[in-house]
Structure 1
Amino acid sequence: MNLVSVTLEHPMQSDVSSLLRQSDAVAALLYPGEYRRPINAESLAKTDTYVLIARIAEKAVGMCVLFDRGDRSAELKRMIVDAESRGAGVGMALLKGAEAQAMKLGALTMLLEVGTRNMEAQQLYRRGGYQPCDPFPPYARTPISLFMTRRLSTAVPDN
């Protein structure tokens, strides 16, 4: 069994750029048009932004980005798992890693936005204890977005 490790890493590396390209490609397939907002590694190299990379045997197989919102909440964005590594627990490992980092930052709540067509991601977040909620600032309701939240505590789901 391959062990998934999740660590904070600097965004300015080829692994991050590659995973962001995969994320943008998935988003383009699910949501062509005006709602997509591609990002690059350079835009993640700033204060209060944390890039978590999942690795199996040192190979980058997934990533997510955590934003400290400065109000005791954190926002999870850009969760992507390499297609070849799906089903290996990478998504849940990233989710747990992001929650642990958010708690270190003093966050009490995790927030996220997920696309309405991204059923795999929605299932992951529901397994992790996330519930639908109203849009949170700076977002407005859109036909392709589902907003979710989870109160953070020392108990992180095991599944």
Structure 2
Amino acid sequence: MSIALESPDQPEVIALIAELDAYQDGLYPPESRHALDLASLMQPKVLFLVARDECGSALGCAAMVLNAGYGEIKRMYVSPSGRGQGLGRRLLARLEAEAVTTGCERAMRETGPYQPEALALYGAAGYERRGPFGGYRDDPLSVFMEKGLVAMAP
């Protein structure tokens, strides 16, 4: 497995994002989904990682939007064929490490209550629940989390 910074504007990656959208469409109404489109993911202030298997096939992705004072994790997804191998944990750790190199000191995440695997992943990685941040409003279909990254710096 390899994980690297890549452009999201690749057919395999666009397919992964479409899988994620289809999955979330079945869980949450549109007003409770806060996904970034492809153009937003291509902005300079976005870190975008792709995880690939030994044959080069994209199995997962994760993004972080770098804001003043924090980075927001977006578009974190591992395809069903890539699950059960610790790939989500590795993507998250690499995303945090990349964020630290930019001077980012805090990671934030908005996810949903109907994604227990995601909540468990973030909890195991040291994320703690908090209130809404940025432009988010309190929503029963949103779970807000954060983690300080300063201690990770070399």
TM-score by length of 2: 0.92
Tell me which residue corresponds to 1:61: 59
Tell me which residue corresponds to 2:27: 30
Query: Within 5 A, what are the aligned runs for 1:62-77?
Result: 62-71=60-69, 73-77=70-74
Query: Within 5 A, what are the aligned runs for 1:4-43?
Result: 4-43=1-40
Name the aligned partner's letter for residue 62 of structure 2.
C
Quote the offset at 1:153 in angstroms: 3.5
Quote the offset at 1:13 in angstroms: 0.7
2:142 aligned with 1:148? no
Contact kept, 8 Å, 1:108 with 1:153, in 2: the verdict is yes
2:139 aligned with 1:139? no
Q: Which runs of 4+ in 1 moved over 3 A?
A: 37-40, 153-156
Quote the offset at 1:155 in angstroms: 4.1
Q: Secondary structure at the match of 1:34?
A: helix
Q: How many corresponding residue pairs?
A: 152
Contact kept, 8 Å, 1:110 with 1:151, in 2: the verdict is yes
Contact kept, 8 Å, 2:36 with 2:75, in 1: the verdict is no
Q: Secondary structure at the match of 2:140?
A: coil
- Of 89, 94, 97 in structure 1, the residue corresponding to residue 94 of structure 2 is 97
Q: Secondary structure at the match of 2:50?
A: strand
Where in structure 2 are there 5+ consecutive unaligned residues? none
Percent identity between matched residues is 34
The CA deviation string for residues 79-135 of structure 1, in whole angstroms up to 9 with x for no partner, is 110011111111001100110111011011100011011100000001111110111
Partner Cα separation in structure 2 for residue 152 and residue 83 of structure 1: 29
Q: Secondary structure at the match of 2:100?
A: helix
Where in structure 1 are there 5+ consecutive unaligned residues? none
Partner Cα separation in structure 1 for residue 119 and residue 65 of structure 2: 20
Quote the offset at 1:39 in angstroms: 4.2
Partner Cα separation in structure 1 for residue 36 and residue 104 of structure 2: 24
TM-score by length of 1: 0.89
